[in-house]
Chains A and B, each alone.
Chain A
Amino acid sequence: MDPVHEVLGRSALVSLSATAIALVVGVPLGTWLALARLRGRRLLATFLNTGMAVPTVVVGLLVALLLWRSGPLGNLGLIYTLRGMVVAQVLIATPLIAGITMAGLQALPPELTDQLRALGANRRQLVIRLWLEARVPLLAAAMAGFGHAISEVGAATIVGGNIHGQTQVMTTSIVEQVGRGEFGDALVYAGVLLALAFAINALLTSVQQRAASWARS
């Protein structure tokens, strides 16, 4: 068994990397869906919302099929690697982040976009300003994405393989310990995982609530 700090570090690395990438993809995607005047937006939004509910084990299976050595992306050599796990977690977190971003932007006053454009904002300035206006839901999206990524076990197991010293993360380790009947160790790992999730969410919540109270005060 790997030392707990090593597994913890690996979990944090994978999930934070996946969340960061999912933010880079999901926030613009959600923004586009919220602002673009396009036909079929409702259908796309439905796909996105469905993506939030896809079981992580299904995502893991699909990613594994893609990354398997004989699969279409097998030559990348990502199966049973941390990078492969990041890919899976990006696919898990992105729909959540994009969906919350879309909802957050759509909840802004409808005339705000026109008003910003009338004040002379170009497209980039407009989008940045809208993100700042929707900063509270956007931070919620980041928290939800990270929470979803760090807590999932299905994709991590299938894509990472729970290889000791290489791809074992907190959730897969807990599953393994429970399988061996080592409930005490499993509880310690669970507590540490909860503490990590709490610490990161406490940081984001602090920023979010400061932003919210500044807007209200």
Chain B
Amino acid sequence: MGSVLSLRDIRHRRGGRDVLEIERLDLAAGERLAVLGPNGAGKTTLLHLVAGLEPPSAGTVEIDGMRTVHADAELRRRIGYATQRAGLLSTSVRRNVELPLRWRGAGRAARSAAADAALRRLGVGHLADRPAAALSGGEAQRVSLARALALEPGLLLLDEPAAGLDAEARRSFLDDLAALLADRSITVVHVSHRADEALRLADRVAVLVEGAVRQLGEPGRVLREPSDGTVARLLGYDNVVPAVVAPGGEVLIGGRPCGLRSDGPPGAVTVAAWGSALRLAAPGAGALEATVEHVAPGAGCWEVVLAGEPPLRAHLPVPEPPPQPGERRAVRLDPELATLIP
């Protein structure tokens, strides 16, 4: 059964400055929260407070109604924690997984069975007798996760566990993690600076910027309706640009119509658009225009950098011949793939 997590009036200072300020954050048992934020936003600090590794300067963290207290090993034992660096001990893989179980008083047979099962679930059962130092980065992260899951924790804290892996290893690791969590009711807090990682496992996402929760909500909604430009950039929008809603509702970028309309009041807005929202055509009178600066093959598309005011990034379908650098193009945005931020 997953743990219930509750943070109230958290304010944490370090080095004379506030590094985290969260008025209220609650997780139901079995809920999965992704915390998305740039480096230095306070994500790891948040996990440290939840894990009881640091006491908050003010406020309370409760797990299953019990307040976490600095150095309270008993409460920490409800928690599994996997970090960006696998942090394996210089002993065998099996002993790495068994050791925290021993600290919890598990007998030899129970430890061995739990470690073997956890390692097998993560696909690294065959590495059990190897020295941990001999593992690759991906294998080490799997062992680190196996170590956390072998504890059958009520609360699993994941601190960018796939950050050090290459694209293929990351995809495979996250696939397996999602499959493992699918049939468990563990409460999860997963922090990442990558939206694709963070949103993947989450029931809700909290966007953390400069120590404060900038937006909290269901992933699809946050993705569709970022609360501001910073959140949009963190979510991976390729274009986050200032715009103006004209009195007729037409949205102007750099004073030119871009193909979007707004029902809102006239005034300044921000346009957030995926690269695939941009449609390029022959220049036309009055349209938003830009000059092709750079074209490169990307993941399943041509990545086109457009010089202009503001500069834009387009992802064009591979089957079509890409524009050439120096060419002038009219730019329109697909309303389905762009959003307006008031």
> Which residues of A are in contact with B by a Cβ distance under 8 Å?
109, 111-112, 114-115, 117-123, 125, 129, 132-133, 214-217
Contact = CB atoms under 8 A, between A and B. Distances in A.
B71 A115 contact: no
* Dominant secondary structure of chain B at its interface with chain A: mixed
A110 to B, nearest CB: 10
Contacts of B51: 117-118
B76 A120 contact: yes
Interface string B73-89: 10011010101010101
18 contacts: A111-B87, A112-B87, A114-B48, A117-B71, A118-B79, A118-B157, A119-B76, A119-B100, A120-B73, A120-B100, A122-B73, A122-B103, A125-B103, A129-B89, A129-B99, A214-B90, A214-B131, A215-B90
B222 interface: no
B53 A118 contact: yes
A161 to B, nearest CB: 46
A120 B104 contact: yes
A118 B103 contact: no
Nearest to B89: A133
Contact of A216 (B103, B133, B151): B133
Contacts of B100: 119-121
Contact of B83 (A115, A125, A217): A115
* Dominant secondary structure of chain A at its interface with chain B: helix
A115 B324 CA distance: 52
Per CB-CB distance, the 5 closest pairs between chain A and chain B, nearest first, are A118-B81, A215-B90, A120-B77, A115-B87, A119-B100
Contacts of A117: 51, 53, 71, 73, 76
Contacts, number: 64
Interface string B89-124: 111000000011001100000000000000000000
A121 B73 contact: yes
Interface of B: 48, 51, 53, 71, 73, 76-77, 79, 81, 83, 85, 87, 89-91, 99-100, 103-104, 131, 133-134, 147-148, 151, 157
Contact of A217 (B53, B77, B134): B134
Contacts of B148: 119
A119 B81 contact: yes
A125 B74 CA distance: 13
B30 to A, nearest CB: 21
A114 B147 contact: no
Contacts of B53: 114, 117-118
Contacts of A115: 81, 83, 87
Given A122-B73, A133-B90, A217 B131 contact: yes
A217 B90 CA distance: 10
Given A115-B83, A133-B89, A217-B131, A120 B151 contact: yes
A132 B73 CA distance: 20
A111 B84 CA distance: 10
Given A129-B99, A214-B131, A217-B131, A119 B147 contact: yes
Contacts of B157: 118
A133 B87 CA distance: 11
Q: Which of A120, A125, A129 has the most CB of B within 10 A?
A: A120
Nearest to A114: B53
Q: Which of B48, B87, B104 has the most CB of A within 10 A?
A: B87
B174 to A, nearest CB: 21
A120 B83 CA distance: 15
A109 B87 contact: yes
Nearest to A119: B100
Contacts of B71: 117, 123
A70 to B, nearest CB: 48
A175 B110 CA distance: 62
B93 to A, nearest CB: 13
A69 B89 CA distance: 52
B83 A111 contact: yes
A118 B76 contact: yes
Given A117-B76, A119-B147, A133-B89, 13 more contacts: A111-B87, A114-B53, A118-B51, A119-B76, A120-B76, A120-B100, A121-B73, A121-B103, A129-B89, A133-B90, A217-B131, A217-B133, A217-B134
Contacts of B48: 114
A172 B93 CA distance: 51
Contacts of B151: 119-120
Contacts of B73: 117, 120-122
Nearest to B157: A118
Contacts of A217: 131, 133-134
A215 B133 contact: yes
Contacts of A109: 85, 87
A111 B147 CA distance: 17
Nearest to A126: B73
